[in-house]
Each structure stands twice: as structure tokens, then as C-alpha cells.
Amino acid sequence: MAHRARRLAPLLLALAGASALLAAPQAGAARAATAATARAAAAPGISGQWTTYGGSASRTSVQPVSPPLRPLRAWWTSPGLDGPVYGEPLVFGDLVYVATEADTVYALRASTGRVAWARRVGTPAPASALPCGDISPVVGVTSTMVVDPATSTLYASAETSVGGHVRHLLVAIDARTGVTLWRRDLDRPGWTAAAQLQRAALALDAGRVLVGFGGNYGDCSSYHGWLLGVPDRGTGPIRAYEVPTSREGAIWAPSGVAVDAAGHVYLATGNGSSSTRFDHGDSVIELSPGLRLLGFFAPRDWSSLNSSDADLGSTGPLLLPGDRVVQIGKGAVAYLLDGARLGGIGGERASLDACFATGGGAYLAPFAYLPCVHGSLEAVRVTATSIRPAWTANAVNGSSPTIVGGILWTLGNAGRLIGTTARGGRVVVDVPVVPVENYEAPGTGDGLLVVAGTSNVEAFAGPRGVLLPG
């Protein structure tokens, strides 16, 4: 199934033609950014980067390099954006990157929040052109982008409207300047483009950009789960893996696919369409770097999960050291898997009744943190062969967590940013934050904690302020 999102207010900014390079910050935009320049830290040095969802291909959502963030203080709020942000903010060099449903990619100064550049990558698809869904009034960039630090290239996947038809494309952008390097059509022969939604975070692997597809909210029309491997230079054949369902089997978790040190790809699927024949719906699937099937896991009750829309793939796989994989979905059971041998149907190492989870998890040994969405935050202790309850914070909305400085940061609770001790679940920070979309996770880097919202980006810092590369 596709993601659930709140209805959006109509966008206030008129949508211009595709590929227009928007103006650099004007005087009004500069005034809209809070007066953070005077407070920007002078201390040199780099304080971690965040170039993909969760900070790494394993999606563990932990920042190992950061100054203390307590006491936390609001550092800047960006000028207004032209639409809401669903993806996690990225941090690379001295810039923060976000993209909106209006198909605009923004680079913001990490020190001030001012716009360094903005690039319109297409004309977003009107919601009325889709067979169902709950993103409105337009659908553009929904997934988390990815940066290749080796080439300073930023990749974004956009849903667009071309000649009245829904199209999907991958855009490569110079991360420093905002110049478009190339564009690549992603639509596959024979599929219904309007039925496919690109929600899963992008990833890099073996010279390719990995792009996962599922369907719109409502499971309407004829869609399939697809994973595409697009050459990161923009030329050459696109590799593809299609989940072998007659329909559905979405790859839609906001955290996206995970990639291990050998380049093997791990993905989780939503419900398939069959309750009698196993079709790789509600599964964890391992693929080679060439996107060839290597193995899979499915719960013994896969048929029931398929029939009840209880997507195992509402979160992405969490890769832990020692060839361990943690997976949880809407079925409220957390599974510990052997990443070297997923085990087929019923082949888990261990399992635990936990919570209805959607988004992305986190890991800081020995605990994995589950993105529960119904008013709690849960930590489980993971060993080589077991997964057991550790603690539950019932007063904390368990949105997708990010770990910085031993603190677990989550969003929710009616517009709050919550900091909870990673070891015991004690709330130590509770501050207001800009309104955000569902399943949003904070990004982090340069000494900042960054939250992307429905119309602005807000950054927080600790006593040392921003630490820029240098």
C-alpha cells in the first residue's frame, strides 16, 4: 500500500515552466530567514554529513559525529518554500537540501537558512490526474533525495505532468551550483504511470541510483512494486526488478531500500494481491548489485497480511552489524533476520510482538528503535539470536527517529520536537517545531538538527552552534 499523508492546503506559489532556475535569495527572502548570521559559529571543522536517508546505506539513522545539542535552541527558519517536504533533509558541505511537492529542489545555507539556489525540475502532476491518493493539490518530489559525495551530485526523483500525462523522471544536479547535469525518464513499458508513486528514499549502489516504486494511497488501479537501478552518469541501460505479484507489492517505505557493504540490496514489500499463492508481497527481499533475486523472507502469516493490508514493508529494512536485519510493519511484529540467509517463509531468527510501525527505524547498539505511529516510542534489545523489549515511552509519538549525541529525536505530538535518551527513554527535550508531514524524520549535520515542514525548514543547534566544513 502507498503512504498516508494529510491533505495539503493549496500551494500559494504559481508553478512556472519546468527546469527554470529560480532566483538566488532576494532581499525579501533574506529577511524571511531568521537572523542567524550573527550567531553562526566561528569554530572550524566538519561535524558530520547526512547525504542519504538515515545517514548511511544501512539506514541506521545515527550521527556519530556531532557536538552536544543540549541545551538545544532554534537556530534559523528558512524562507517560505513553494510546497510541503515529505523527504528527510540532507546535509552536505555547508548546504541543507530539501525538495517539495511543487517539484522544486532547494539548497539552504547551513549557517543561516537562506536560499543558496533553487531548481525547478518539472511541472508537478495534479492530484486530479491520479486514480487515488492523498497528496494534494499536486504531486512532485515525495521521496528523500541522495547525494554522491565523490562527485558532489544530488539526485532527485520527480513526478511530473508532461502534455497532460503523468511522467516520472530522475534528475542529477550539481550539488554546489544547482545546475542540472542530466534527466532520465523512469517510466517502464506497459505500466500505468499515474498509478505508480515514488515514495521510497533513493540510494546509491555500484554506480547506480536505486529508485523504488509503489502505488498511491488507496491501493487503486494497476500498480506494481519496482526497483530501478539508473546509471549514476545518466547513460546506459536501466536495470529493473519487478516484484512478481499480479498487482501491488509496493516498495514504498519512506526509509527506502538498504544496501550492505557487499552492495547487496535489501527491500521490503507491501501487501501482494494473492491470499493463496505466495507472490513476494509482505516480504523482505535480497537482490544482487545487478538487481538479481538472491533470497527472501516472509512471515508465516503472509496470506493474512496480504488480505488485510498489513504491509510488512511500511518500514524499510534496518541493517545491523553481524549480518542482522530488523524488519517491522503494520502487522506489529518485529523480526530479526539473518542477512546472509533470509530464510524464506517463516525463516526468522526471532520475532517479537511490538507495534504498528511506519517510516524508518534507528539503531544504536544494542538497541533498535521502532517507528511506532500510535503514541509510543519503543526500543528493543537485539542480540545475534534474539530480539526483546527494552523500554517504551508512552507519552512520545514514535515517528521516524534520528540519533544524535545519544539522544533519540522524533517529531509529532502536535508540532513538537522530542529528545529522548537513547538508553532509557527519558524525555529531556520538548520544543515546538514547524508543522511537518507524516513519517518525517529530522536530518543532521554541521552541528545542526534539521526539520523539513509543510512550508518551511527549521534548524536547531547546541551551544557550539553551526560547525561548517573547513
pLDDT of the residue at 375: 72
Q: What is the pLDDT of residues 429-440, one digit of tens each?
A: 999 999 999 889
Q: Which domain holds residue 172?
A: 45-461
Whole-prediction pTM: 0.91
Q: 415 falls in which pLDDT band (50, 70, 90)?
A: confident
- Total domains present in the chain: 1
Q: How far is CA 185 from CA 91, 193, 462, in A?
A: 26, 11, 42
Cis ω for the linkage preceding 126 (within 30 of 0): no
- The identity of residue 137, as a single letter, is P
Inform me whether the pLDDT recorded for 2 exceeds 70: no
Determine, yes or no, domain membership for 35. Answer: no
- The answer, yes or no, to whether residue 379 has pLDDT greater than 80, is yes
Report whether pLDDT(56) > 80. Answer: yes
**468 occurs within a structural domain:** no
Domain assignment present for residue 21? The answer is: no
pLDDT reading at 176 higher than 70: yes
Average confidence (pLDDT) over 36-55: 58
Which among 267, 386, 285, 265 has a CA at the least distance from the CA of 345?
Answer: 285
Label the pairing between strands 62-63 and 402-404. Answer: parallel
8: in domain: no
In CATH, what number is assigned to the domain containing residue 78?
2.140.10.10
Is 31 within the bounds of a domain? no
Does residue 171 form part of some domain? Answer: yes
Looking at every residue in the chain, the average pLDDT score rounds to 90
Give the separation between CA 3 and CA 176, rounded to whole angstroms.
Answer: 32
Question: Is 4 within the bounds of a domain?
Answer: no
Average pLDDT score over residue span 68-93: 96
pLDDT of residue 24: 39
Residue 24, in any domain of the structure: no
pLDDT of residue 166: 98
